[in-house]
Amino acid sequence: MAEVVLEKVSHRYPGAQSDTFSNVDLVIKQGEAHALLGSSGAGKTTILNLLSGLARPSAGRIFFDGLDVTGASPRKRNVAQVFQFPVLYASLSVQENLSFPLRNQGWRGARLSARVADIAERLELTGCLKRRPDALSLFEKQLVAIGRALVRPEIDLVLLDEPLTAVEPATKWQLRRVLKQAQEELNATMVYVTHDQTEALTFADRISVLHEGKLLQTGTPADLYQHPAYEHVAYFIGSPGMNLIPGEVLDGVYRLDGCAIAPAPGLSPGPCVIGFRPEWAEVTTEGTEGPMVTVTRTRVLGTRGNRPVGIVSVDLNGQSISTRQTLDVVVGASARLKVGRDRVVGFREGIRLGSEAAHA
């Protein structure tokens, strides 16, 4: 499996007025499960096509293990791809579908059988080997398509273009589990395209968030959740997303509705957007410092210590805020919003205050 490097890569489709994306720098580590996350039109599938060789960048270069493959054909890139809808040979059994890439390379006999059996066992397909695709569920068909991508041991890169889109919601988690387990055991370099943050957060070692033709941030799921570099990353990651409220920095302190809520050491004074995750704050009717809010709704998610916990929605001067906490507050009550110290993120012009991105 290869380390993949994109160096200042841009792409514009023929006849388009602007680039789909521009100046993308990205390193996908050898053996890494990497997700490209973004809404429709962000450029995720285009990057996948550039990696596979189905398209060529308008500018920049692409390297596999230090080898420039920018102009290489798909055949020479040693890449396998899995699409949204599984593409299998209907007249062949599962075993024959899995064997097909290896037979084309001259594999025969016990070596071939052992490799197919190994992949089938990793993907929990052993019981399906004699069946044909028309006798499989959509879930099983996609597993076979993934197995065919993984069966060649010398493959450099596996590309997955929203492989769970067509799978029934009840079985998506199972496919993610099996795929992630196989990826780790085989040390496979995988690039996984999705618009679903749950898929990205539960599958990938690192995630690259794309938005409006830019790669905004690359990091681990924890990095993106706790230290978003952009407002878009802050509210795109998380359910609910990060609360983003107009505030200010004054005298080294974040202030929300005139109330000091957290220290902001070293930051220049002025208006900003204050961000905090729902679980970084709580709403309370007990005496505390913090802006006054009105509780508008509560939603139970479960219990903790025999107390209901869930989402509390409040209104602050027409701005909706969500917290994740025990449900001790009453809808319609006036209460205070208490934000955890050192758990606040500030943004100006969509970029995190004090981050390297602010100076890019």
Q: What's the CATH code of the domain at 18?
A: 3.40.50.300
Which of 173, 208, 232 is where one domain is finished? 232
| Cα 121 from Cα 118, distance rounded (Å) | 5
Do 195 and 257 belong to one domain?
Answer: no
Residues 6+ apart with CB under 8 A from 112: 99, 102, 103
Which of 180, 204, 232 is where one domain is finished? 232
Do 224 and 237 belong to one domain?
Answer: no
Do 257 and 206 belong to one domain?
Answer: no
Tens-digit pLDDT string for the chain (360 aa): 789 999 999 999 998 888 888 899 999 999 999 999 998 888 899 999 999 999 999 999 999 999 999 999 988 888 999 888 888 999 999 999 999 999 998 999 999 999 999 999 988 899 999 999 999 988 889 899 989 998 988 888 999 998 887 777 777 888 888 888 888 888 889 999 999 898 899 889 999 999 988 999 999 999 999 999 999 999 999 989 999 999 999 999 999 999 999 999 889 999 999 999 999 999 998 877 889 999 999 999 999 888 999 999 999 999 999 999 999 888 888 999 999 878 899 999 999 997 543 333
CB 236 within 8 A of CB 196: no
Do 239 and 210 belong to one domain?
Answer: no
Do 122 and 246 belong to one domain?
Answer: no
Could you report how far apart the first and last alpha carbons of the chain are, in Å?
32
What is the count of structural domains for the chain? 2
**∠ at Cα 335 (331, 336), nearest 5°?**
140
| Cα 283 from Cα 272, distance rounded (Å) | 22
Do 220 and 282 belong to one domain?
Answer: no
| Cα 99 from Cα 84, distance rounded (Å) | 22
Structure tokens at 136: 């499989």
Do 78 and 128 belong to one domain?
Answer: yes
Which of 185, 204, 232 is where one domain is finished? 232
CB 304 within 8 A of CB 253: no
**308: buried, middle or exposed (CB in 10 Å: 19+, 13-18, 0-12)?**
middle
Do 341 and 245 belong to one domain?
Answer: yes
Please tell me whether residue 292 adopts helix, strand or coil conformation: strand
Do 193 and 263 belong to one domain?
Answer: no
Do 52 and 121 belong to one domain?
Answer: yes
| Cα 148 from Cα 289, distance rounded (Å) | 60
Do 281 and 228 belong to one domain?
Answer: no
Do 197 and 139 belong to one domain?
Answer: yes
Q: Domain limits at 271? A: 233-359
Give counts: helices (H), strands (E), the chain. Answer: 9, 21
